[in-house]
Structure 1
Amino acid sequence: MRIFKIVNDSAIAAFLRVIFLGGATVAGMPLTSAAEPSHALAMFGKPALSADAPGLPYANPDAPKGGMIRFAEPGSFDSLKPWVLKGNAAWSVGVHVAEPLMLRSLDEPFTLYCLLCETVETDEDRSWVAFTLRPEARFSDGSPVTVEDVIWSFTTLGTQGHPRYAGAWGKVAAITQTGEHALRIEFSEPDRELPLLMGLRPVLKKAQWEGTDFGASGLEVPIGSGAYVVERVDPGRAISFRRNPDYWGRDLPLLRGLYNFDVIRYDYFADTNAMFQAFKAGEVDVWRETRAVKWATEYGFPAVASGRVVKSEIPHRRPSGIMGLVMNTRSPLFRDWRVREAMILAFNHQFINATLTGGTDPRITSYFANSDLAMRPGPATGIEAELLAPFAEQLLPGTLDGYALPEGAAKMLDRDSLRRAVALLEQAGWTVQDGVLRNRDGAAFAPEILLNQSGSAMRAGSEMQQIVDIYVQALRPLGVVPRVTVLDSAQYVQRTNRFAFDMSWYERGLSLSPGNEQALYWGSASAGQEGSRNWMGVRDPAVDAMIAAAVNAPEDDTHIAAVRALDRLLTAGRYVIPVSYSPLSRIAHSARLHYPDTPTAYGDWPGFLPDLWWEEPPRPD
């Protein structure tokens, strides 16, 4: 189902009038320039770098090549195909082996520079995009990257690949070869982000996969055009990549200072505690610390004291994203917003944050906190209010007027919030009977909280368990006794792909240029699509409309207003019980590893580590 199809015609007309015909802040604003081949493409405005730029300004062009970097990963893997839903894939294959047509800048909200392509071209309305490939582009086996490979990759990913590719592909009307090295993609509906999304699609070798069941998982080593090739695979335990000395792009100015390590290795561990112990023992080179209190108090081990390990803090200007316990609205327990609000009220973040993290990191107050995209306190105004107006009668309390999370209390039980939670539960038909919260039919309110024993990208499994343990105790006065289920990573992925849970730990990183990926995270079409990231099961025409408004905004001010409106809808939707976030990344690493001094808007983000890092032996004292 496409976004525009799930919003009624009057609502579409209303918010499109705001975008294209609205007030003085929008009317008369120019769109992009006329179509002509370019070296780059920006979502808004012009790319920061010229075609003859000597390289990315935040990379170190003099970084030495060589050495090795070793990472730790939780859980295991049984597939080398991160482009499909089936299996538990080693995600690193998609990062190091395959390349897209264009490379994303880490210091611009959403700007892409030509990589496999030599030029990119699109029209004023972005109803089509054309790419011309670099004739010198090669796969690691020496064969050329062809237009045929690109067309096959895009078509196959869109029809047989992971669901994350399906949404954009559903808006492609045609993809055709227009020359020996050229192709053109026509779009079937308005979506100004689509040319950039096509630029980010991975390009795979058609001859390797044609005639096979591409949607199946497997351990066949993929052939890509990237800087690295798979060197060794120990299924479930480790995977290593070696820099390809014949990499076709090694002399591109755009890539100066990138891809410096000879070997990149990922070792898999049963849980995050084992990973950290391996780091302390020198078996792993990098550790991202998510807990401020641990960063301050538990890094006195010998490797740090001797200087063999150093602590680095990487600032960023990206949104906080959302992280915490998600409530699945597919479950009858969480369909009523009042129940979800009661569960949020019972979560005493002030006490949990102080107990587990020292209280230094701020709480996530909305999905786009820590950025200009975040909703502002108080009522919606201007374009933001106009975008929401067609849906006013269906909006949950707090959406238009402003919504804020409870402040919490210093003690474990926030009694004032618990009293408010009881009242909301009673309104929703839940009362305490013989010490147990039950509905009118006598069924107990006993949600299952699903956790991954291996932890997540941002939280150790033990920390999640501590947070949940405190929360479970706080729920007892309400008569709520959740069932906590801890699974290994493979079982956890299977369950969450099928949305087979009531509550679970949820993390979604968000960029400075939200677009079509928002439909995969919380669009109506993704709510019933297994493997999507819409774990909460959002089905809201207003959310779909704001996503459509964001991707079709002709200029930045309208885009910001649409994202702020989306932020209001999601936050007031009470889908996630958010925890804290860090406005910087804390990375402990071997002293032989270095990174550029120039900060970027995204900080520690895909494309930063290990891409920009290098190895130098420690200097003697």
Structure 2
Amino acid sequence: MRIILPQKLRGIIATGAVTLSAALATHAEPQHGIAMYGAPALPADFAAMPHVNPDAPKGGRIVFAESGGFDSLHPYIRKGSTPWQLRFMLAESLMGRSWDEPFTLYGLLAETIETDGDRSWVEFTLREEAAFSDGSPVTVEDVMWSYETLGTIGHPRYHGFWKQVETLEQTGPRSVKFTFTEDNRELVLLAGMRPILKKAQWEGKDFEASGIDVLPITSGPYTIGDFEPGRYLTLKRNPDYWGKDVPFMKGQANLDEIRFDYYGDGGVTFEAFKAGEANTHREFNAQKWATQFDFPAVQSGDVVLSEIKHQRPSGLWGYVMNTRNPVFADIRVRDAMIHAFNYEFINQTINDGDRKRIPSYFGNSVLGMDVGAPAEGKVRALLEPFADQIPADVLDGYALPVSDGSERNRAGLRKAIALMEDAGWTVQDGQMKNAAGAPFTFEIVLQQGANETRQTMDIFMAALSRMGITPSVTSIDSAQYKERTRAFDFDMTYIERSASLSPGNEQKFNWGSAAADEVGSRNLMGVKSPAIDAMIDAIPSAQSQEDFRSATKALDRLLMAGRYVIPIWYRDVSWIAHAKELHFPQRIPMYGDYLGFQPEIWWYDE
């Protein structure tokens, strides 16, 4: 049972009394940081993160050209369309994540963290100087209110952790302790990673209301400046930011202004950059990067082209099939779609064949499955109890089909037609139909402005037409697209899921059974699998790096062999074009161009 101490008792604690649970607990020594396995790489007296420039000048601005728009500035709830950057750039957490280590946290709002050997509880002590942007102190009461509010009525991404908190207690004037309900070593880290909001701001207000009337008061280095929904949004660096001397923040938040200008079409954002209306542009198309970035500003040196390598997993980009709908409930039908999707031809047409295909959800890393090879050792031991519930090639080995690269893809289409026939669908009078004569069709829901996605789907649909299948395509604006995907109102749609070197409890929200029926969850495919749930549970409870990797590889096998997604391509490099005045450190963090990189550690210098 969760316990929140009453205000009166918290006041007693603040004057020096100690709770019984705190008195009986065996405390470890307070630490400056914590790692999932082993110890943090940096010592307690570190001066700055190794991948930043601690001497970076302050000033200047960065301007992004974004597609879409927004109707809310409240990123901590389910409702509304909010600029995604606000979730990461406004509110701070107790600990800050190092993007140069697999899963390590260092003190941010909290000066210390301590836990027991089993990681059954964790205690944080706030920095005395921690403050919100209005100058008021960050208190234990704010911390406790934030966790309970986000965990109950906030965005569903915050609910899973809160359900695993047994008690939340104030244990001192600036300290707070979480005790957990289950054996899950990741929870002590997750406890340090939730946004802390100001309780007093929300008294008498509806926290769940979406809109632009209430701007969250937070402790981060930036506050919301001028904005106009659908047109632009600015973030202003707070000159009185409390944490400018905290080692974790040295060399970060260097830019005075961060501006987002919104355009209705993805192609227009590139033209806006070329015209000088934006001073940075992230490119995702290999062919375009190779052929269209020779305009005058590049030739003169006013625009710099930077290629940034990374060491993180491939993640998943592609087209997800909604198994909640009968049309894709059968794995043979999903397998047929994967065989009909002529990746080699599509990649050649769109990318000049330059992009590598995603081999698995955790490909390009030590966490990825051994493609096409049988499961062995601990991976096999984890999967064998579910052998009668899972596709045979989870254990035997699975790999995506490879076409001959020609447009016809005869072998792939023959296999796809055979799979459809096994599932009860045959070509009758030029149409794919079932025994009752009903045609096989489905709806592909896409976001307007996603030009590359639409081009990919056009080639795919041409292949399907040769099988007698004619899907419909619905292109809608970003707000409608968000609502439809939130409600799982699609047969097939685009999906992108970044993967880290430290997967954990967020996997429940991505593909756990409990999330399949939770509106707004990231389990777009609707998968409900006891085997997948078991592997998700095994990841954070692993006691060693070997166990952790084995559980992740086993999860990877289940997801890939389940044929839920048609994977496309990934990059082990990011392409960023930017004004010559914008700079980033020479030492690239392990995660590369990822969260915490641009604009957080960039600076402006003429």
**Structure 1-normalised TM-score?**
0.92
The answer to whether the Cα contact below 8 Å between 2:27 and 2:114 also exists between their aligned partners in 1 is no
Matched residue of 1:239: which SS?
strand
Which of 360, 382, 388 is matched with 1:393 structurally?
Answer: 388
Whether contact under 8 Å (2:331, 2:563) holds in the other structure is yes
Match of 2:366 among 361, 372, 383: 372
Q: Which residue of 2 aligns with 1:240?
A: 234
Q: Answer yes or no: is 1:229 the counterpart of 2:223.
A: yes
Task: Render the CA deviation track for 1:224-252: whole Å, top value 9, x for unaligned.
Answer: 00001111121221110111111000111
Residue 356 of structure 1: SS of its match in structure 2? helix
Deviations 1:411-454 (A, max 9, x none): 11210111111111111111112211112222211110000013
Paired residue secondary structure (2:365): coil
Counterpart-to-counterpart distance in 2, 1:545 and 1:267: 44
Alignment of 1:166-315 (within 5 A): 166-219=159-212, 220-315=214-309
Listed one character per residue, the Cα deviations across residues 452-494 of structure 1 (whole Å, up to 9, x for unaligned) are 013xxxxxx1111100000000001211100000000000000
1:14: which partner in 2?
none
Q: Give the Cα–Cα distance (whole angstroms) in 1 for the partners of residues 458 and 192 of structure 2.
A: 44
Does 2:426 align with 1:426? no
SS in 2 for 1:199: coil
What letter matches 1:362 in structure 2?
K
Is residue 313–residue 584 contact of structure 1 (8 Å, CA) maintained in 2?
yes
1:107 aligns with 2:88: no
Match for residue 515 of structure 2? 526
Q: Give the alignment partner of residue 55 of structure 2, picking from 45, 52, 62.
A: 62
1:31-70 alignment to 2 at 5 Å?
35-70=28-63
Separation of aligned partners in 2, 1:165 and 1:224: 17
Matched, 1:464 2:448: no
Secondary structure in structure 2 of the residue aligned to 1:231: strand
- Separation in 2 of the partners of 1:539 and 1:364? 23
Q: Distance in 2 between matches of 1:197 and 1:81?
A: 21
Q: Distance in 1 between matches of 2:203 and 2:189?
A: 26
Matches within 5 A, 1:150-165: 150-165=143-158
TM-score in terms of structure 2 length: 0.94
How far did residue 36 of structure 1 move?
Answer: 2.1
- Secondary structure of the residue that 2:549 maps to in structure 1? helix
Within 2, Cα distance between the matches of 1:34 and 1:351? 60
Corresponding residue for 2:19? none
C-alpha separation in 1, matches of 2:85 and 2:376: 43
1:589 and 2:578 correspond: yes
| SS of match in other structure, 1:35 | coil
Distance 1:254 1:468 in 2: 44
Note the alpha carbon deviations across 1:555-603, whole angstroms, 9 max, x for none. 1110000000000000000011011111110111111100000022100
- Which sections of structure 2, spanning at least 5 residues, go unmatched? 1-25
For residues 246-299 of structure 1, the C-alpha deviation after alignment (integer angstroms, 9 at most, x for no partner) is: 100011122111110011111111011111100000111111111111111111
> What is the DSSP-based 3-state SS (H/G/I as helix, E as strand, rest coil) of the residue aligned with 1:543?
helix
For 1:135, what is the secondary structure of its paired residue?
A: coil
RMSD: 1.0
Q: Does 1:474 align with 2:469?
A: no
Q: Which residue of 1 aligns with 2:433?
A: 438
SS at match of 1:464: helix
Displacement, 1:34?
7.5
Of residues 121, 134, 145, the one that matches 1:128 is 121
Shift of 1:397: 3.0
Partner SS state of residue 394, structure 1: coil
Q: How does 1:528-607 map to 2 (within 5 A)?
A: 528-607=517-596
Whether 2:82 is the aligned partner of 1:93: answer: no
CA contact (8 A) 1:34 1:124 kept: no
Tell me the amino acid that sits aligned with residue 611 of structure 1. E
Contact kept in structure 2, 1:408 and 1:414, CA below 8 Å: yes
**1:498 maps to 2:487:** yes
Higher relative contact order (CA 8 A, sep 6+): 1
Q: What amino acid sits opposite 2:448 in the alignment? A: Q
**Are 1:514 and 2:509 matched, yes or no?**
no
Deviation at 1:344, TM superposition (A): 0.2
Which of 441, 445, 462 aligns to 1:450? It is 445
Tell me which of 347, 350, 353 is aligned to 2:347. 353
Q: Which runs of 4+ in 1 moved over 4 A?
A: none
**Distance in 2 between residues matched to 1:262 and 1:102, nearest whole Å:** 24
Number of residue pairs aligned between Structure 1 and Structure 2: 579
SS in structure 2 of the partner of residue 611 of structure 1: coil
Supply the AA of the counterpart residue of 2:308.
I
Q: Determine the C-alpha separation between the residues in 2 that align with 1:443 and 1:234.
A: 49
Partner of 2:240: helix, strand, or coil?
Answer: coil
In 2, distance between residues paired with 1:589 and 1:413?
40
Contact kept in structure 2, 1:313 and 1:587, CA below 8 Å:
yes
Alignment-mate amino acid for residue 446 of structure 2: L
Q: Percent identity?
A: 56
Residue deviations 1:516-537 (CA, integer Å, cap 9, x gap)? 1111100000000011110001
The residue type paired with residue 44 of structure 2 is A
- Corresponding letter in the other structure for 1:549: A
Gaps of at least 5 residues in structure 1 are 1-32, 455-460
Determine the C-alpha separation between the residues in 2 that align with 1:308 and 1:66. Answer: 19
What is the CA–CA distance in structure 2 between the aligned matches of 1:210 and 1:105, rounded to whole Å?
Answer: 34
Structure 1 distance, partners of 2:203, 2:516, is 31
- Match of residue 29 from structure 1: none
Q: Corresponding residue for 1:9?
A: none
Paired letter, 1:571:
M
Equivalences for residues 320-359 of structure 1 within 5 A: 320-359=314-353
* Partner AA of 1:588 in structure 2: A
CA contact (8 A) 1:81 1:90 kept: no
Could you say what secondary structure the match of 1:400 adopts?
Answer: helix
Match of 2:411 in 1: 416
Counterpart-to-counterpart distance in 2, 1:213 and 1:599:
42
CA contact under 8 A between 2:113 and 2:122: conserved in structure 1?
Answer: yes
Question: C-alpha separation between the residues in 1 aligned to 2:322 and 2:408?
Answer: 25
CA distance in 2, matches of 1:216, 1:434: 53
For residues 116-143 of structure 1, the C-alpha deviation after alignment (integer angstroms, 9 at most, x for no partner) is 0010111111111111000100000000
- Cα deviation for residue 302 of structure 1 reads 1.1
Does the aligned pair in 2 maintain the 1:362–1:581 contact within 8 Å? yes
Question: Are residue 402 (structure 1) and residue 391 (structure 2) matched?
Answer: no
Paired residue type of 2:497: R
- Alpha-carbon distance, 1:210 to partner: 2.6
What SS is found at the alignment partner of 2:508? Answer: helix
